Chains A and B, each alone.
Chain A
């Protein structure tokens, strides 16, 4: 037990050492991939808490990411830029008057997560009470699509399909991987608490969990809100990484990517989601050559075939429901010794 904690501290120190070196010295492509990987991983960790651990199939994370992305953009976009972007309709009131400096970035990120969490409460209270299985999936999907339509049409807040440009690029490895470490820690604590065991009981058998005295609805709601918070933070890191925001990156494709990540990592495995988040970002950016050299769209053919094949032949994914732990690594060495 103590050994584990020491190992974790060493690993964290090594990780932050790597960030301190890498944030300045890594080659641009790799730096970008790591940032994207961390963003995907943050959203995927939240997604696997509701989808994998609780077994409630949500298809709405792209909507929550959309909320986070736009709120963070509206909070930190400098005032001069706000005057330039909204040409046809002026920006709506509270956001037209102020903009947060760099020191307020963390507040903006948290606000993005909180907004997504509030939306999750509003959707979750009716939906999680009444629906399960594929009906829940459809309802959350519909919610994401409604948000998308609103973002396209509410010009005075979002500037519509044209999007917003020249957003300050605050996101770097410190922000993205830092947020990922915090959220992964929270998710692992959730999974191994009594709350997490209740969630896993709900996944196995909802009726049995209910008769054990678990407040099924409340547990589901908290897991759903947590996952929305993660998606909101991930969404907030996205525009500040690429410098622009438009509704397009947050179409249903985003949820599809996250679904691939958590299915490949093993539904219910938090470390699986983290590892596959980075692997996915690497493959996704690396395979850009398929789109440019062969035909645009080839990448998605590859990913959809991959998802179908994994579901048909390898449903456990990389880690199944288990986690990548120190005990598991140490176990490898011990077995070798004997």
Chain B
């Protein structure tokens, strides 16, 4: 395996890690598989697209606005569709999330500036540069992606372990009722969770666009499922596990395609097989703790 493959794997892995964190944080707190998360990720690419081509903003301003708008979307989705169902059966929540996912996809199809056809994500010049590293030709984006992802992940760890909101998130994940009884504002902390998760997904979506510039309404689905698989592999509910799981999945995918190019059409089947096998035999993943069943 040469250095180029290795870098590709690391890049893909960091993208999966950025998305997987949103799944794992929401699952840790609400026990909800947020079906709409992959589509929030997809929307981030479109925000940049709108900012850059529609409003003619500079690329980096579009990117920053995209992160802000995507985070606001995450907040709004929780506020409108998930919060009213806080005390409903969990399956109702899952059905609403499925509805939200399809709604987001079809909003893009319906919008006249986007539509169901493929669009080109605006790649900035500094991402496109190519250099030589030890005989391999490397695009700047494969270096930028892991670096930016690492900064975001360190920031997240700081937020989780060194701030009050982060402590609140960890407290809710351990026991929501007790946290509420201690006087913490549950709703505010859950809103923050969605904002942080969506902002990270937005960073992931923008970087994804720089790496794979095809933009379409359904580009969030497959990366979303791979990232969800990464979250399960890493132990769902565990943020560090999600990062590790993301890297494992990214490397595994690049390896699979490199070793069995003839079977690359089956790689989604392989990903889902990994997901199902983990759910069946190691549902706590490699980092997670077993959840006790409440009687």
Contacts and interface: CB of A to CB of B under 8 A. Distances in A.
Nearest to B104: A304
B96 A311 contact: yes
Contacts of B31: 134
B287 interface: no
A139 B295 contact: no
B106 interface: yes
B33 A307 contact: no
B107 interface: yes
Nearest to B293: A207
Interface in B77-114: 81, 84-85, 88, 90-92, 94-96, 98-100, 102-103, 105-107, 109-110, 112
Interface stretch (B1-9, B140-148, B261-269): B261-269
B112 A304 contact: no
A135 B279 contact: yes
Contacts of B279: 130-131, 135, 138-139
Given A126-B280, A295-B112, A133 B91 contact: yes
Interface string A277-319: 0000000000000000001111011011101100110010000
A197 B81 CA distance: 33
B103 A305 contact: yes
6 contacts: A127-B276, A133-B90, A137-B33, A138-B33, A253-B102, A300-B105
Interface residues of A, number: 39
Contacts of B110: 295, 297-298, 301
A162 interface: no
A300 B106 contact: yes
A256 interface: yes
A142 B95 contact: no
Given A149-B265, A297-B110, A308 B272 contact: no
A182 B65 CA distance: 57
A142 B268 CA distance: 10
Main SS at interface, chain B: helix
Interface residues of B, number: 39
B291 to A, nearest CB: 11
Interface string B258-295: 00000001101100110110011001000000000001
A55 B90 CA distance: 11
Contacts of B85: 311-312
Contact of A130 (B103, B105, B268, B280): B280
Contacts of A55: 91
Nearest to A55: B91
A315 to B, nearest CB: 6
Given A134-B90, A300-B106, A308 B275 contact: no
Interface string B206-243: 00000000000000000001001000000000000000
Contacts of B96: 307-308, 311-312
Contacts of A315: 88, 92
B219 to A, nearest CB: 15
A207 B272 CA distance: 30
Among A55, A131, A300, the one with the most B-chain Cβ atoms within 10 Å of its Cβ is: A300
Interface string A151-162: 011000000000
Given A142-B275, A304-B100, A152 B116 contact: no
A57 interface: yes
Contacts of B106: 297-298, 300-301, 304
B276 A142 contact: yes
Shortest Cβ-Cβ A-B pairs, 10 listed: A297-B109, A142-B272, A304-B103, A307-B99, A149-B269, A300-B106, A308-B99, A304-B102, A311-B96, A146-B269
A55 B92 CA distance: 11
A143 interface: yes
A119 to B, nearest CB: 14
A145 interface: yes
Interface string A104-141: 00000000000000000000001100110111011100
A192 to B, nearest CB: 24
A301 B276 contact: no
